[in-house]
Structure 1
Amino acid sequence: MLLRFRTANVRSLRDEQELSFVVAPGEKSDAARTTPLSDGKHLEIYPVIGVFGANASGKSNVITALKKMRSAVLDSYGLWTSYTGVPEREPFALDAESAGKSTFYEADFVLDDGVRWTYGFELGDRRVESEWLHAYPKGRRQVWLDRDATRDNVFDFPGDRVQDRARLARSTRPNALLLSRAASDNHPQLSRVFGWFRSNLWDITPETELKDRERYTAEQLLDDRNSERVRELLRVADLGIQGAEVERQPGGRTPAVRLLHGSDRDTAVALDWAKESFGTRSWFALLGPLLLALDSGAVLLIDELDASLHPKFAAEVIRLFQAPWSNDKNAQLLFTSHDASLLKSPRGGRLLEPGQIWLTEKDKRGATELYPLSDFDPKPEEDLEDSYLAGAYGAVPNVDQGQIGRKVLTALAGEAERS
């Protein structure tokens, strides 16, 4: 499970920002999962975090930073060739100082055996400036790797815990992560840490890669293990869908799908796929990857959850991860959204607890600040949606009612005078 993520100097995230799935000390949570650690202690971990904020406040950059960290771990040794330096680095662009500083990433996570790990690195334009790996098998920190490009002896392995240390240090390029290099040879110790990144931080953006995800969900309809679950999720979404017909296609093409629409199953009519609404297709395309994440216990990233989904569908996605009966593998969801209605359930109460709601707001320099709503200590009876829209927690556009219209009229009047 992902515990915490820290990053700095990535797009609008100028200063170090932290996102935490761990329930803060002193807070009580009905949504959290109890995660046992190898030292006999336990952590309370949220299965869902939602990041809310105004347009261009930087909430999508939180997910982008996680994606960039995963990409570096998976690709730095195989794809970042010796003559390319560090590709796709995007430091904060609104001051000259940040361009010369390194980009920072660090993640805390727990593997299946209950051991907590911290892995991080800093990237410059041409090389990996630093890299570190710490384990906590008995609650105390063990330093497995300490890399510093400014030292004569760049790689240090305190405690001699890592096998093949000399060979790894000798064969790791300056612009590649040692963790990536180790995984290329199926290193017996480090490949487990690499495997966590490979099996987690899956990215879904509802408006992109739609056809690929439609194909994947269609293939699940042909799988006896998942077919009925996909059909059930289509029915309960209140789209007027009673079921689905699916047919294999020659040459490995995408299976042909027709959804059955009607008030009951006996009179339902099969509708051609091209005639389905964008909202229905978006929901269908999300189901396959969503079920895969739930089945494998993965961390799923969804940017703009509400972009192409009705708020009811977005709320159902959250509930699937929150409910122990549908998420028995402790999968986690991190999403961004503009939709303040997700801060409460239609029947009253809260869909998300204050500690699960994180907000983004830009300062005068254009740098993003990320903080949890729980910092404001809202009362149990407080309507989080109303308070958020009223600006009680920040992270909303600073625009007065009618201000945009008045600006437009003023501009038009000015143009008329000039002409």
Structure 2
Amino acid sequence: MLIDFSVQNYRSFFQRQTLSLKATRITEFQENVFLEDSSQSKLLKVMSVYGANSSGKSNLLRAMGRMKAILFENFQQRSNESISHDPFLLSEKSGEEPTVFEILFATKMHVYRYGFEFNESKFTGEWLFEHKGKEQHPYFIRIEDGIQVFETFLEGNDLEEKTRDNALFLSVVNQFNGPISKEVIDWFNNFNIIDGVGHTDYRAVTFKMLEDDSTKAKLMDFYRGLDLGFNNLFIDKTPFDPSKLPFEIPQEVADQMSVDMQGRMMASLNSIHDVFDDSGVKTREENFHVRTQESSGTNKIIDLSGPIFDTLLDGGTLVIDELDAKLHPHLTIALIRLFQLDETNPKKAQLIFATHNTNILSLGRLRRDQIIFSEKTHQQCTEIYSLVDYKLDKGKVRKDNSFEKDYLLGRYGAVPSISDLSTPN
């Protein structure tokens, strides 16, 4: 489970900002909180991120994805290859400082704090600690001058000199099957960051779950509960036929696909709908090609349902940018409720999402500590803050405040400042 994530000097973030999923002592909606076994901490199942366009909320989620990508892709880099570096650009000092990512998370048995800092040419710092109650036990600490491996991290011995300046020590140790490094890497395997707008990339996960009878049953129960209009889904596999490629694909791309896909199978998803006569009696069934005949919202629900249910079944952490895009507010809330309820989330999975849908603030049964705002300072760097900590003129926000109305009125900040477009220059 994710406990908190910190970012510094990345895109719109300059000063260190931390997203915490630790539950505060407020009492509303206790079904949104679970007790994490390893740390005995109360954590939140769901976290929402609000903010104006260009406020940095997507950059917060992108930072999580960038940390994971660096960890998984880093060991494949050559010794002279630069590290993809995207620092804050609107400060004279930011170019002199490294980008920093740090994450605190719990596995089934342990609580780890792992982080690293880097510039374009090398990693200037890296560390791994285990948290035991209020104590922290280091496994290794890396600075520019070298790597110190502690006696509790025997799997890292003699690998310091094998670690390039542009390589992560944890990735190197994992190549030698160290048990601690493997446990950390395995946690990141269940930490997934996806885009709610360009959702077709996750279609394969849904297809895989629909091909398994047990997981298909869970998906179909969910779809039927949303009243999407179809009775069933099935995958139709046929030999690859270049004549069926979309006409808008450039010819050179189609030619290359014809070579690459020769002898392979193509899979398409189809939905089954009832056909009725004039008196409302069902007469037969009709097959729809999901991608071309179902709505864009239905396509998104189907595409995202794979990663969502995969996360629920494994007890991982799922991060979705623009969760509400193309979806009716009630459908968005239905997705959120999957993570809030113990019946559908018995393994304590977590959902973090960015959204503009303010209906969730009034209908989504969110606690004040589950609502995060992102806002730019006058120096154009992003800061994030929780509604539970926000102070109004009369004190902190109460649980009976109208969150949606007050947010739209700008009482919590994190909304665009739009000039009156009807006023002539």
Shorter-chain TM-score above 0.5: yes
The residue identity in structure 1 corresponding to 2:415 is V
1:198 aligns with 2:189: yes
**Alpha-carbon deviation of 1:75?**
1.6
**Alpha-carbon deviation of 1:240?**
2.4
2:149 equivalent among 141, 150, 157: 157
- Report the equivalent of 1:47: 45
Q: Is the 8 A contact 1:49 1:335 kept in 2?
A: yes
1:95-110 pair list within 5 angstroms: 95-110=91-106
2:90 equivalent among 94, 100, 106: 94
Distance 1:245 1:144, change over 3 A: closer
- Report the equivalent of 1:126: 121
**Alpha-carbon deviation of 1:209?**
4.5
Distance 1:235 1:370, change over 3 A: same
The residue identity in structure 1 corresponding to 2:164 is R
1:272 aligns with 2:289: yes
- Report the equivalent of 1:380: 399
- Report the equivalent of 1:85: 82
Root-mean-square deviation (CA, aligned residues, Å) is: 2.0
**Alpha-carbon deviation of 1:6?**
0.8
**Alpha-carbon deviation of 1:261?**
5.4
1:221 equivalent among 206, 210, 221: 210
Q: Aligned partners of 1:27, 1:283: CA distance in 2, in Å?
A: 32
After superposition, the C-alpha distances for 1:162-181 in whole angstroms (9 at most, x for unaligned) are 11444210101111110011
- Report the equivalent of 1:312: 330
Q: Aligned partners of 2:63, 2:70: CA distance in 1, in Å?
A: 11
Question: Any unmatched runs of 5+ in structure 1?
Answer: 412-419
1:186 aligns with 2:205: no
1:72 aligns with 2:35: no
Q: Aligned partners of 1:316, 1:144: CA distance in 2, in Å?
A: 42
1:391 aligns with 2:410: yes
1:258 equivalent among 241, 256, 271: 271
TM-score by length of 2: 0.87
Q: Is the 8 A contact 2:49 2:355 kept in 1?
A: yes
Q: Aligned partners of 1:405, 1:185: CA distance in 2, in Å?
A: 65
- Report the equivalent of 2:233: 244
Partner of 2:417, secondary structure, is coil
The residue identity in structure 1 corresponding to 2:106 is V
Task: Please state which structure has a larger fraction of its residues in strand.
Answer: 2
Distance 1:145 1:287, change over 3 A: same
Comparing 189-198 with 25-34, greater Cα deviation is found at 25-34
Distance 1:92 1:27, change over 3 A: farther
Q: Aligned partners of 1:338, 1:246: CA distance in 2, in Å?
A: 34
- Report the equivalent of 2:348: 330
Partner of 1:254, secondary structure, is strand
Q: Is the 8 A contact 1:218 1:255 kept in 2?
A: no
Q: Aligned partners of 1:63, 1:306: CA distance in 2, in Å?
A: 15
The residue identity in structure 1 corresponding to 2:389 is D
After superposition, the C-alpha distances for 1:199-243 in whole angstroms (9 at most, x for unaligned) are 21x122122151x43343234222111122222222222322333
Q: Aligned partners of 2:26, 2:359: CA distance in 1, in Å?
A: 27
After superposition, the C-alpha distances for 1:331-386 in whole angstroms (9 at most, x for unaligned) are 111100011111121xxxx5211100100010111101101111133222211101
- Percent sequence identity is 29
**Alpha-carbon deviation of 1:256?**
3.6
1:339-350 pair list within 5 angstroms: 339-345=357-363, 350=364
Q: Aligned partners of 2:66, 2:380: CA distance in 1, in Å?
A: 21
After superposition, the C-alpha distances for 1:123-175 in whole angstroms (9 at most, x for unaligned) are 112111011111124542111111110x3xx11123x1111444210101111
Comparing 119-128 with 218-227, greater Cα deviation is found at 218-227
Q: Is the 8 A contact 1:261 1:271 kept in 2?
A: no
Q: Is the 8 A contact 1:215 1:254 kept in 2?
A: no
Q: Is the 8 A contact 2:104 2:111 kept in 1?
A: yes
Question: Any unmatched runs of 5+ in structure 2?
Answer: 240-263, 391-395
The residue identity in structure 2 corresponding to 1:240 is G
Distance 1:245 1:162, change over 3 A: closer
Q: Aligned partners of 2:219, 2:26: CA distance in 1, in Å?
A: 39
**Alpha-carbon deviation of 1:191?**
1.6
Distance 1:20 1:228, change over 3 A: same
Q: Is the 8 A contact 1:299 1:331 kept in 2?
A: yes
Q: Is the 8 A contact 2:51 2:57 kept in 1?
A: yes
Comparing 256-265 with 328-337, greater Cα deviation is found at 256-265
